[in-house]
Amino acid sequence: MEGRSLPHSPQSPMRENGKLLLVTTFLMLLIISPSIASWDGIIIGQADYQGLQAFKHSLSDPRGVLRSWNGTGVGACSGAWAGIKCARGQVIAIQLPWRGLGGTLTESVGQLAALRKLSLHDNAIGGQVPSALGFLPSLRGLYLFNNRLSGAIPPSLGRCLSLQALDFSNNFLTGSIPSSITNSTRRLYRLNLSYNNLSGGIPDSIARAPAIAFLSLAHNNLSGTIPGSLGRLSMLRTLDLSGNSITGSVPESLDGLRNLSVLSLNDNLLGGGIPASIGNLSRLSRLDLSDNELRGEVPASLVRLSNLTFFNVSNNNLSGPVPALLSRRFNSSSFRGNILLCGFSPSAPCPSPPPPPSPSPNLPPSPIRRRRGLGTRDIILIAAGITLALLLLLCCVLLCCVVRKRTAASKQQTKAAGGGGGGGAVGRGEKPGTAVGEATVESGGDAGGKLVHFDGPFLFTADDLLCATAEIMGKSTYGTVYKATLEDGNQVAVKRLREKIAKGQREFETEVNALGKIRHPNLLALRAYYLGPKGEKLLVFDYMPKGSLAAFLHARGPDTPIDWPTRMNIAMGTARGLHYLHNDMNMIHGNLTSANVLLDDTTNARISDYGLSRLMTAAANSNVIATAGALGYRAPELSKLKKASTKTDVYSLGVIVLELLTGKSPGESMSGVDLPQWVASIVKEEWTNEVFDLELMRDAAGTTGDELLNTLKLALHCVDPSPAARPEVQQVLQQLEEIKPELAGGGAAAASTSEEATAAAAGPSTATE
Ligand SMILES: *[C@@H]1O[C@H](CO)[C@@H](O)[C@H](O)[C@H]1NC(C)=O
Ligand SMILES: *[C@@H]1O[C@H](CO)[C@@H](O)[C@H](O)[C@H]1NC(C)=O
Ligand SMILES: *[C@@H]1O[C@H](CO)[C@@H](O)[C@H](O)[C@H]1NC(C)=O
Ligand SMILES: *[C@@H]1O[C@H](CO)[C@@H](O)[C@H](O)[C@H]1NC(C)=O
Ligand SMILES: *[C@@H]1O[C@H](CO)[C@@H](O)[C@H](O)[C@H]1NC(C)=O
Ligand SMILES: *[C@@H]1O[C@H](CO)[C@@H](O)[C@H](O)[C@H]1NC(C)=O
């Protein structure tokens, strides 16, 4: 416990020293207050101790993972027992996936009265699922997939009022799915019973789980029909019933599944027609109906499914022409094995004149299709024409942008408050000003609290978050940052705000809800936040595996040079992100450092920590200004004024550009002067080439040399001691783009797909000027 000292510099990457890594969960952090110096004081209760002993006894443990479960249990709740998490002396989680465990699960698990999560997936555990699990009132997550469990699913599980996730997939379970399974749970959101030997029908009662988002019963021996009541599950995103012996027809009512994105009914015995109502599932991205006995035509309504990326109706008994739009989007392997189906490939032409099945204009043998030899050339010509048109459009757009920026630059002091979108250029990924839908609020797990999601690629519950494995990444003035690994293996970055520095709850929520709507390719997106019952605050961001610019530049090996275009791209990205904050969000960063510039998979800059000052009290913020100064990014006037401005942000940006040029960290000692002073003194002595990172000088002949010099000039302009002399970020961005036009405007990248070109085109039209 004593070794648990945390580093205090925001820059120190914990990863460097394996010994410092602290793996824990947020639940432990929240429930066991950090003010308690040692966890050893909390002794496990007798019932839980005996429950764990019995649990260990019934398992086999060839790798000795459970050897730490020894002695009198003093260490059980202090982190000494592998895989055990406690709260107030009671076991709340057992997490032992991939541990080579065998044997069976004991009914004594029922003694762990506070258990919330049992995660034993990917072991070799056999025997039956203990029915005592159904008597654990707090059980939220039951992850027993990829084991050797057999016997039936205990009907008692229907009593688990709090159950959110149940995954028994890939075992040897038999018998039928108990109709009680969704009896009382209002919160179940994931039910996966796939890859077992379950038989019987799909219980109608599943429709009683209103929150269910993922339902997979695939690859069992289920029979009977699909209950029409399933159409009531409006939160459902995935429905997978493939690989069973389900009969009857596809219910019309499935069009009630408004959020459905995956529908897999393939490999069953379904008959009847494909209901036209499937065309109403506007979010559908994957539709697999292959290997059934479906009859009739492919409904024309399916062409409305604009998000569809996978479609398969092969090996059925379908007939008639395939709607032209579908046959254009999907190749013949999506349609084969339907003897009477036609129009999906040149080798299966429809008899002409085609039977007029519907008045829709989907006449299958379209002209492009019929003249195939010449068609290819036509298509190329058409595509070239479209590309040219898009490029021209893009040029106009960029020109407009530049002109607009020039105009704007002349009246740079008058900023439209928070208005307008897409002022800057568009890069890969997130589009500026992209509207984020309504935030979804979930009451947060065990101890009360509240989880609010904005958007983002991952779905998790408050308990998923609280039980996520948390590995400390760094500590800053506002709090500690963790890399959190969710049960499904996805990772997010979680910032736990320090206590007593944030504003009161209502003000905090107003501000954080505004922050959660900000989206720009060069800004780290806030995806969710959690408010604990005692005022604890967690902010959830995208996880950036490449880490910070500071680490990227200063903590790399000698054999990993960073070339000039990469550095320039980072500088431009940072300038773009800052420009969006200043001009579109009317927001000062206040603490821009290379540790706060993160790098995504493609080494694009993503500014983090923006807007956090709005969540904090004034006292906390003046503290940040004080510490930021110590890092060498603080504009000189801050020592007197104590108020950040766009000009102090530009100063910090200038330091970052100097850092990119020189390869030196502003934290390094340079005989008593800071980085800007050091660079300025060398430039004054006309030893300018000495300031550049040696790596950059290797290929500095010709144009690169000029680019380096011009960028250096610009950076020195940004770090001018007089705030009035510094440019606005708009000018910095513009000059960077003039210095390296091939990286400007994300132009090359944006032109590569029409979608992004359209997004770029949408920029100026929504701008306020
Ligand atoms: C219990 O196990 C831990 C880890 O294996 C070991 O360090 C400790 O000495 C053991 N304690 C007892 C009392 O056996
Ligand atoms: C499960 O069913 C499959 C075929 O349906 C069979 O091959 C397999 O042996 C069964 N497994 C068990 C453990 O019953
Ligand atoms: C269900 O489990 C199977 C096997 O473990 C897995 O491949 C699948 O992705 C899971 N589906 C859902 C919806 O969770
Ligand atoms: C397809 O339907 C026809 C009549 O509609 C029937 O004769 C034939 O057996 C069916 N084929 C299959 C594979 O079900
Ligand atoms: C058809 O498309 C699928 C993916 O959509 C692809 O994997 C497959 O190779 C394609 N087949 C043919 C014959 O083009
Ligand atoms: C559609 O399903 C059939 C049968 O399962 C399969 O052979 C074919 O590859 C699938 N086509 C696509 C595009 O996935």
**What would the pLDDT profile of 583-610 be if each residue is shown by its tens digit?**
999 998 888 888 889 999 889 999 998 9
Q: Which of 214-223, 457-466, 724-733 has the lowest mean pLDDT?
A: 457-466
Where b means 16+ CB within 10 Å and e means fewer, 603-622 reads ebbbbbbbbbbbbbeeebbe
pLDDT of residue 542: 87
Q: Which amino acid is at 560?
A: T
Residue 481: half-sphere exposure toward Cβ, Cα within 13 Å = 28
**pLDDT tens digits, 332-359:** 999 999 999 999 988 888 886 544 444 4
Q: Are 630 and 664 in contact (CB under 8 A)?
A: no
Q: Above 70 in pLDDT, residue 182? A: yes
DSSP H/E element including 567: helix 564-579
Q: What is the pLDDT of residue 696?
A: 79
For ligand 5, say whether the CB of 333 is within 6 Å of any of its atoms: yes
Q: Does residue 169's CB lie within 6 angstroms of at least one atom of ligand 3?
A: yes
The better pLDDT of the pair 448, 309 is held by 309
Q: How confident is the model at residue 321 (pLDDT cuts 50, 70, 90)?
A: very high
Closest CA to 104 of 174, 57, 164: 57
Residue recorded with tokens 């159950």: 163
Task: Answer yes or no: is pLDDT of 111 > 80.
Answer: yes
In the prediction, which pLDDT does 6 show?
31
Is the separation of the CB atoms in 281 and 256 below 8 Å? no
Rounded Cα distance, 264 and 286, in Å: 8
From the CA of 487, the nearest ligand is: 3
Tell me, what's the pLDDT at 353? 57
Q: Where is pLDDT greater, at 621 or 162?
A: 162
- pLDDT band at residue 37 under the 50/70/90 scheme: very low
Q: How would residue 257 be classed by pLDDT, with cut points 50, 70 and 90?
A: very high
Q: At 662, give phi and psi (nearest 5°).
A: -95, -20
pLDDT value, residue 29: 54
**370-379, 415-424, 483-492, 537-546: range with lowest mean pLDDT:** 415-424
Cα separation, 288 vs 65, in Å, equals 42
Q: Which ligand is nearest to the CA of 68?
A: 1
- In this predicted structure, the answer to whether residue 96 has a pLDDT above a threshold of 70 is yes
For residue 197, the CA-to-ligand 2 centroid distance in Å is: 6
> What is the distance between the alpha carbons of residues 31 and 12, in angstroms, rounded to a whole number?
27
* Highest mean pLDDT pick, 31-35, 210-214, 415-419, 689-693: 210-214
pLDDT at 270 over 80: yes
Instruction: Report the separation in Å between the CA atom of 94 and the middle of ligand 6, taken as the mean of its atom positions.
Output: 41
pLDDT at 552 over 70: yes
Distance of alpha carbon 78 from alpha carbon 42, whole angstroms: 7
pLDDT at residue 414 above 90? no
Q: Is the CB of 245 under 6 A from ligand 2?
A: no
pLDDT given at position 457: 59
How far apart are the CA of 383 and the centre of ligand 6, in A? 29
Q: Which atom number of ligand 3 is nearest to the Cα of residue 192?
A: 1
pTM to 2 decimal places: 0.57
Q: Residue 267 CA: which ligand 6 atom is closest?
A: 5
**40 pLDDT more than 60:** no
Q: Which of residues 92 and 439 earns the better pLDDT score?
A: 92
Closest ligand 2 atom to residue 196 Cα is 1
Q: Is the pLDDT of residue 741 over 80?
A: yes
Beta strand ranges found along 36-109 (DSSP E): 59-60, 84-87, 90-95, 102-103
In the predicted model, what is the mean pLDDT of residues 354-382? 40
C-alpha–C-alpha distance, residues 705 and 699, integer Å: 8
Confidence band of 459 (pLDDT split at 50, 70, 90): low
Mean pLDDT taken over the chain: 78
Tokens representing residue 438 in the block: 């309504």
Side-chain half-sphere of 277: how many Cα atoms within 13 Å? 11
Quote the crossing angle between the two packed helices 372-410 and 729-739, to the nearest 10°: 130
Residue 597: the pLDDT is: 92
Question: Is residue 483 very low, low, confident or very high in pLDDT (cuts 50, 70, 90)?
Answer: confident
pLDDT band at 443 (very low <50, low <70, confident <90, very high): low
Question: Is the pLDDT confidence value at 279 over 70?
Answer: yes
And the tokens for 220? 């069992």
Look at the alpha carbons of 399, 404, 405, 406 in this order and tell me if their dihedral is positive or negative: positive
pLDDT of 323 over the 50 cut:
yes
Mean pLDDT of 142-154: 96
216 lines ligand 3 (CB under 6 A): yes
Whether residue 372 is predicted with pLDDT greater than 50 in this model: the reply is: no
- Looking at the chain, the whole-number percentage of residues with pLDDT higher than 90 is 40
**Pair 446, 466: CB distance under 8 Å:** yes
3-state helix vs strand vs coil in the chain, percent to 5: 35, 15, 50
Site to substitute for ligand 5 among 308, 313, 333, most atoms within 8 A of C-beta: 333
pLDDT score for 639: 76
Task: In whole angstroms, give the CA distance from residue 293 to residue 406.
Answer: 65
Is the pLDDT at 65 greater than 80, yes or no?
yes
Ligand with an atom nearest the CA of residue 312? 6
Residue 545 Cβ contacting ligand 1 at under 6 Å: no
What's the whole-number mean pLDDT along residues 514-523?
90
Atom of ligand 2 nearest to the CA of 172: 13
Q: Is 346 in the pocket of ligand 1 (CB under 6 A)?
A: no
pLDDT at 510 over 50: yes
Q: Whose CA is nearest to atom 6 of ligand 2?
A: 197
The pLDDT assigned to 507 comes to 86
**Beta carbons of 317 and 294 less than 8 angstroms apart:** yes
* 107 within ligand 4 shell (Cβ under 6 A): no
Query: Using a 6 Å cutoff on CB, does residue 264 contact ligand 3?
Result: no
Q: Which residues line ligand 6 (CB under 6 A)?
A: 290-291, 312, 314-315, 333-334
**pLDDT one-digit tens code per residue, 112-141:** 999 999 999 999 999 999 999 999 999 999
In which band, very low, low, confident or very high, does the pLDDT at 666 lie, cut at 50, 70 and 90? confident
Looking at residues 410-437, what average pLDDT do you find? Answer: 36
Q: With bands split at pLDDT 50, 70 and 90, how would you rate the model's confidence at 162?
A: confident
pLDDT attached to residue 657: 92
* Mutation test residue for ligand 1: of 68, 69, 72, 81, the one with most atoms within 8 Å of CB: 68
E runs forming strands in 130-278: 141-143, 150-151, 165-167, 172-173, 190-192, 199-200, 214-216, 221-222, 238-240, 262-264
Q: Which of 123, 116, 128 is nearest to 155 (CA)?
A: 128
pLDDT digits (tens, 9 = 90+) for 280-313: 999 999 999 999 999 999 999 999 999 999 999 9
- How confident is residue 578, by pLDDT bands cut at 50, 70 and 90? very high
Ranked by mean pLDDT, the top range of 5-19, 77-91, 355-369, 455-469 is 77-91
pLDDT at position 651: 93
Whole-angstrom distance, CA of residue 521 vs CA of residue 427: 6
pLDDT at 458: 58
317 C-beta closer than 6 A to ligand 4: yes
What's the N-to-C CA distance of the chain in angstroms? 59
Q: Which residues pair with 670 in a beta bridge?
A: 673
- Identify the residue with better confidence: 199 or 741: 199
Q: Kindly tell me if the per-residue pLDDT of 155 is higher than 60.
A: yes
Determine which of 80-89, 218-227, 246-255, 662-671 has the lowest per-residue pLDDT on average: 662-671
**Atom 4 of ligand 3, residue of closest alpha carbon:** 169
Residue 385 neighbours by CB distance under 10 Å = 10
* pLDDT-based confidence at residue 422 (cuts at 50, 70, 90): very low
- Mean pLDDT for the stretch of residues 265-286: 96
Q: Which of 194, 215, 288, 490 to mutate to test the pocket of ligand 3 (most atoms within 8 A of CB)?
A: 194
Ligand nearest the Cα atom of residue 79? 1
> What's the CA-to-centroid distance between 265 and ligand 6, angstroms?
13
Asked if the model's pLDDT at residue 217 lies above 60, the reply is yes
pLDDT at position 396 is: 36
> How far apart, in whole angstroms, are the C-alpha atoms of residue 607 and residue 590?
12
Report whether pLDDT(717) > 60.
Answer: yes
Residue 445 pLDDT grade (very low, low, confident, very high; cuts 50, 70, 90): low
Cβ atoms < 10 Å from Cβ of 698: 12
